[in-house]
Amino acid sequence: MDLSAEKQRRLRELVVEAKEILGGCLHPDGRPKTFAELEEECIQVGDRFTTQLLLGRVAERAPDAPSADCPTCGRRGERGPEEPRILQTDRGEVGWSEPAYYCRSCRRSFFPSFG
Ligand SMILES: [Zn+2]
């Protein structure tokens, strides 16, 4: 992924905001946090940021067509009700709902977004 200089600048602004949200680098008693403690806080923020970002992008990408091609046989499957999806990602659990499609030939439901 190639980000423009402008997009990189905007991401740096988000980092500044995340740093403000995290707060200071000292414990309440005044001791400085260790590198490992600071790293762990950054990882937690990054993981939460990543899962929320992924969730937003997944929801945007969900197709809303009355039918979709079955990934197994290629025939048209009909749109069914929305079903909850939960994926365990490297950065945590991501949950959303999207329409499932049903293929009569294969007698199975599928999500076109995942094949
Ligand atoms: Zn099929």
How confident is the model over 30-84, as pLDDT tens digits? 999 999 999 999 999 999 999 999 888 887 776 678 999 999 999 999 999 988 9
Residues in the chain, total: 115
Q: Residue ranges per domain, the chain?
A: 5-110
Distance 64 CA to ligand 1 centre (A): 19
In DSSP notation, 8-74 reads HHHHHHHHHHHHHHH--SB-TTSPBPPHHHHHHHHHHHHHHHHHHHHHHHHHHH----SEEE-TTT-
Residue the block writes with tokens 């969730």? 55
Give residue 115 CA to ligand 1 midpoint distance, Å: 11
Say how many Å lie between the CA of residue 88 and the centre of ligand 1.
26
Tens-digit pLDDT profile for residues 37-51: 999 999 999 999 999
Residue 1 DSSP class:
-
- Dist. CA 35–CA 12, nearest whole Å: 21
CA of 76 to the centre of ligand 1 (A): 7
> Using CA atoms, how far apart are residues 2 and 108, in angstroms rounded to an integer?
38
Query: What residues have a C-beta under 5 A from ligand 1, the ion?
Result: 70, 72-73, 103, 105-106
